[in-house]
Chains A and B, each alone.
Chain A
């Protein structure tokens, strides 16, 4: 039994690895994850502590390889700790959006009729709200805390997942195997979660990986506008802090900006690779 399973998993890996970009993306993300996990080992002090003279340029001192910011905080420490925040926000927000989106989309498509009508209208309502304004309002009302920002991003990202899930469920719902499951006496929840969802999952996973990337960008935008969590180091916050010095000490914005760009690019590459590997229409059987 397990032999067959392992073989199939290796086949999936091969399909993924055929896409060079995806492997590169995976490597970058792995590096970011390792750095994030190892942050306390690399810097045993809080990244928000003032440790030296402000505005030291990168590569000018051994102590601060990436320089210091306008307050004299270690940019390298902030980037490394910021990786934790950024990844956490990206993953949790994407997970929130996926759970809400899949639930709404699945229920809407499976039951159809007025249930679909109502849920689709709600989805469309959320889509008409300008994203960044919604996030800023939520953060302004609930307070500038990491949890609030994450939830706000999750709340604004779910409609696209709901729409994809709904479309997938619509086409799967009328397939004969669903009818067959009903004739075997399975309940609605069982059919939705156990039978249809596994069929829809590949496309949802691909989209969810792209939502992680967008969530990271949203966090950066919110922090840049000064609405980030002041008690947590994040890449967006660092850019925000450096924006007043962009003419003189542009490295303060550029370094975290480069980190964001690299991570988002990597996530998109991985999304492409997952699409190639998981999408049965593209995969050779």
Chain B
């Protein structure tokens, strides 16, 4: 069966004055219906760039899609024209951003923003748009939605605003929802409420979710599968349980080791030394070689291919045996 979203060999390059760099290096992954796939990695590894590439909203210049396909139910979005893509956005794919406060228009009431989408994509008018908007606000569990309809974003809390953003994202019952660090800006308690809300909505609407995060705790709670990215490349992919039980790539092990565990481990958190190298001067061979604890000679010269040691698993490391 064809997957809901099939990203094949996606390649994005940044054309800057000081040269061309590859921001996303032949990335492939799939998302099934009702499935949550997490894109994991440190800042700057290309997670958000991937989301924008799927949406057809790469900041151009400098970014440009230079290869690959983005198949949504078999239709290649990368080849779609601007106006056709506008119909896909919001209607079939929608997106939630990190900071709910700044992803709502500060001078419009949340009701106006919500019903605007309904009018635009669902062809609702006047009273029926308002009625549906209030239903949606109730569905994302905003108390007293009748009254909140006329509130401005600054009159609501961050968690409430994120609920509004989610209501806007699901207003047209999209097939795919891209959530770009949707809980990073929120308190921990609100965070888990929002995650639960997203899971419930996924059950209700049956949409696929791409969940972008650097927080492995959230990944464990939310995702079915995870794609770990490093310097624009997929370096490991696995279903959640095997990923945490037996990570293959040293980078994934590092990420898991640097996540605080719930059951009061008092030892010092392990850290990955150094930081993500600039795309401009990636080390030769494996991009992770300058930070890797298990590095050996071949890592500096040979670029590890992506191999599949088990069904549903993939890793790009010379230490992994096929």
Contacts and interface: CB of A to CB of B under 8 A. Distances in A.
A183 B102 contact: no
B291 interface: no
Contact of B97 (A176, A185, A187): A176
Interface string B141-170: 000000001100010000000000100100
Interface residues of B, number: 32
A177 B86 contact: no
A199 B107 contact: yes
Interface stretch (B19-27, B87-95, B296-304): B87-95
A1 interface: yes
B102 A184 contact: no
A177 B117 CA distance: 14
A184 B94 contact: yes
B103 A184 contact: no
B61 interface: yes
A198 B105 CA distance: 9
B106 interface: yes
B89 A184 contact: yes
Contact of B104 (A180, A187, A198): A180
A185 B103 contact: no
Given A1-B150, A4-B150, A285-B154, A183 B95 contact: yes
Nearest to B107: A198
Nearest to A197: B107
Contacts of B93: 183
Contact of B95 (A180, A186, A195): A180
A253 B87 CA distance: 64
Interface residues of A, number: 22
Contacts of B61: 113
A179 interface: yes
Nearest to A182: B57
Question: Chain A: interface secondary structure?
Answer: helix
B104 A177 contact: yes
Given A179-B57, A180-B97, A199-B107, A185 B89 contact: yes
A272 B26 CA distance: 56
Interface in A158-204: 175-177, 179-187, 194-195, 198-199
Interface in A22-54: none
Given A177-B105, A180-B104, A199-B107, A185 B87 contact: yes
A-B interface, 3 closest residue pairs, ranked by CB to CB distance from nearest: A184-B90, A185-B90, A185-B89
Given A183-B55, A185-B88, A185-B121, 7 more contacts: A177-B103, A179-B57, A180-B95, A180-B103, A183-B57, A184-B89, A184-B168
Interface of B: 55, 57, 61, 86-91, 93-95, 97-99, 102-108, 116-117, 120-121, 149-150, 154, 165, 168, 178
Interface of A: 1, 4-5, 113, 175-177, 179-187, 194-195, 198-199, 280, 285
